[in-house]
Amino acid sequence: MQLIPVIDLMAGQVVRGVRGERSAYRPIRSSLCESSAPLELAPRLLERAASDTLYIADLDALKGGELQFDILAALLEGLPAVQLWVDGGFRDAESIEALRQRLGTRAARVTPIVASESLPDADTARRCLEAHREHCILSLDRREGSLLDAAGCHAHPEWWPERVIVMTLDRVGADAGPDLDTLRSVRALRPDVRLFGAGGIRDLADLQRAEESGAQVWLVASALHDGRIGSHHAGS
């Protein structure tokens, strides 16, 4: 099972995500580093996860603000061998294209996350996923059993790109275990896609169960910060 560490970024600092309740997020307190600065935490997270990919959720952008581009640029410069997966609250194909243009040659190292919670309607979602199918990842978002999906992405698996994240926000940072039932239901709709999970991992046993349920990758934050899993688990 490949682990990809997650940074929740708010006002230039790494914060601890809990159940997707973003108004309550506070600067991270991590066993890896005393600082909540992304440039200090990122290399330690990557080392702990034995990963060359970092997932960034830009909470400022997700709440309707500006993308924290300067931090993305600094991470790309400071971590030249690392790929970034970025959820910047992209609402349409044009917002992703604008980021790619701004990145220039660095765009090859940035994978945009198209999150179902951010897409406003079906037509916009379909056009966005068609335009960026080759280099985006779709995140199918839900919280407490309800879909976060005004655009209907869950109901249209024919729109999905080759990589899909199953994101259960109420499991994030909640020490509640991964949502494997949802993972299996998504796999049944499109067994051909590469399926990635997010949220809920507590220990090695959770990782093993997630892998048995069909996930190839899992996005992890709290268990890395707290030292409950690490590089010796990544190849399980």
Neighbours of 108 (CB within 10 A): 11
Q: What's the whole-model pTM score?
A: 0.92
CATH class of segment(s) 2-233: alpha beta
Averaged over successive runs of 10 residues, the pLDDT of the chain (236 residues) comes to 93 78 69 87 94 96 95 97 97 97 97 97 98 96 93 97 93 79 94 93 90 92 86 49
How many whole angstroms separate alpha carbon 185 and alpha carbon 45? 30
The confidence score (pLDDT) of residue 234 equals 42
CA distances from 106 to 91, 147, 177 (A): 21, 33, 36
pLDDT value at position 232?
53
pLDDT for 236 equals 40
pLDDT at 173: 65
Cβ partners under 8 Å of residue 129, min gap 6? 114, 136, 138, 153, 159, 160, 161
pLDDT of residue 1: 84
What is the predicted pLDDT for the residue at 37?
92
